[in-house]
Structure 1
Amino acid sequence: MVRYAAVPENPAKSAKARGSYLRTHFKNTREVAKTISGMKLRKAVAFLNDVKEHKQAVPFRRFSGGVGRTAQAKVWGVTQARWPQKSCEFMLGLLKNAESNAEVKGLNIDNLVVRHIQVNQAPKQRRRTYRAHGRINPYMSHPCHIELTLVEEEKQVQREEQQLVQKLSKRRQVRARVQAARAPAATA
């Protein structure tokens, strides 16, 4: 069994999946992973399918050099975003694998949340490109390792509705105290 970076609190209520040496760009995959982290499984799958169809964009926050701007990035509070097809394909495959692992464990698929997701750099693969004047430059690929954990969330207990208490500013509080102190003196 391979060691994961994060250990779930309750292993019986979680499902894991991982991929190693995946031929997809590390930087793009990292941004996709950061975006779907914390999402429910169904929402994450729908989001990735929307990205493939260019209906939604993945915000690029860390590796944003040279990334174009798009109006679809406004949803995430940034200006730069892209639609990394291959990274989304690999991520969908891992989510599907983790979902299958959850079904085997008997977990409720609708309550699964992406609790942990991590993308690491894998060893680069070398090729070469031929340049002018007989020179040769490296032509490297940047593959990655991905691991993720889905956790079945407990049902949220609703908080008891409390009476809304109007908060007063300091000046109003002092004024109310002074009026309360004067009121008994006036009646006496």
Structure 2
Amino acid sequence: MVRYSATPANSAKSAQTRGSYLRVHFKNTREAAAAITGMKLQKAITYLEDVKAHKQCIPFRRFAGGIGRCAQAKAFGTTKGRWPVKSAEFLLGLLKNAESNAENKGLTLEELVIKHVQVNQAPKQRRRTYRAHGRINPYMSSPCHIEIIVSEEEATVKREDDGKSPKLNKRQLARKRLVASRQ
């Protein structure tokens, strides 16, 4: 069995899938994976279909140097976004695989949430391009490994009210809003 970098809290209520040495850009795939982490599985599938159709963009946060601005990125609180179609196709394939793995385990598909997505760099593939004056430059590709873990969302139990509300700072409130928007 292949070792995953994360272990689900309840392995009976989760399914996992992975792809190795995938010939798709690492940076684009990392940004797309960050966008779908925490989403419900069905919502993530429709979101990636919209990315392929250029109806919604992937917000670029870390690898955003030289990325143009787009109006669709405003929905994610940023200005930079793109539509990495090939990354969306690879992630869709893995999500459909995770969905069938979960169905095989007997999990309810409506309750599945993407708990863990990790994109790692695979060994680069080297080609060459010929330049003027007899020079040769590298023509590298940046493939990646992807692993996804989906789990059934556990029913949240309401805590009884003790009269005190917890004080949250700005960062905690922003994180709470981000998690709520992804569901």
- Give TM class, smaller chain: 0.7 to 0.9
- Which residue of structure 1 aligns with residue 115 of structure 2? 115
Q: Which has the larger Rg? A: 1
TM-score by length of 2: 0.86
Q: Counterpart amino acid of 1:135?
A: R
> Do structure 1's residue 34 and structure 2's residue 34 form an aligned pair?
yes
C-alpha distance in structure 2 between counterparts of 1:145 and 1:85, whole Å: 17
Number of residue pairs aligned between Structure 1 and Structure 2: 165
**Structure 2: distance between partners of 1:76 and 1:69:** 13
- SS of 1:126 mapped into structure 2: strand
Note the C-alpha offset of 1:103: 0.4
Does 1:137 find its partner at 2:115?
Answer: no
Please name the residue that 1:58 is paired with. Answer: 58
Residues in 2 aligned to 1:40 and 1:159: alpha-carbon distance in whole angstroms: 24
**Residue type at the aligned position of 1:5:** S
Give 5+ residue unaligned stretches, structure 2. 166-183
- Partner in structure 2 of residue 43 of structure 1: 43
Which amino acid counterpart does residue 91 of structure 1 have in structure 2? L
Listed as ranges, the matches of 1:57-96 within 5 Å are 57-96=57-96
Matching residue of 2:24? 24
Distance (whole Å) between structure 2 residues aligned to residue 159 and residue 110 of structure 1: 25
Give the distance between the partners of 2:159 and 2:89, measured in 1 at CA.
39
Structure 2 partner of 1:102:
102
Residues 87-125 of structure 1, C-alpha deviations (whole Å, 9 max, x = no match): 000000000000000001000000000001100000000
Task: Give SS of 2:141's match.
Answer: coil
Q: C-alpha distance in 2, partners of 1:120/1:127?
A: 21
1:4 aligns with 2:16: no
Secondary structure of the corresponding residue to residue 97 of structure 1:
helix
Distance 2:14 2:104 in 1: 11
Paired with 1:160 and 1:52, the residues of 2 have a C-alpha distance of 44
Residue 125 of structure 2 aligns with which residue? 125
Shift of 1:157: 3.4
Q: Aligned to 2:140, what secondary structure does the other structure show? A: coil
Alignment root-mean-square deviation, CA: 1.6
Instruction: Name the % identity.
Output: 70
Distance in 2, matches of 1:118 and 1:13, equals 20
Read off the aligned partner of 2:78 and give its amino acid letter: V
Question: Counterparts of 2:57 and 2:132 in 1: how far apart (Å)?
Answer: 38
Partner Cα distance (1:23, 1:80) in 2: 24
Amino acid at match of 1:43: K
**Partner Cα separation in structure 2 for residue 42 and residue 105 of structure 1:** 17
Q: Which aligned segments of 4 or more residues in structure 1 are displaced greater than 2 angstroms? A: 155-163
C-alpha distance in structure 1 between counterparts of 2:134 and 2:79, whole Å: 41
Distance 2:38 2:143 in 1: 24
Provide the rounded CA distance (Å) in 2 between the counterparts of 1:61 and 1:77.
10
Cα distance in 2 between the residues matched to 1:130 and 1:138 = 9
Q: Cα deviation per residue 1:44-64 (whole Å; 9 max; x = unaligned)?
A: 001000000010000000000
What is the TM-score when the length of structure 1 is the normalising length? Answer: 0.84
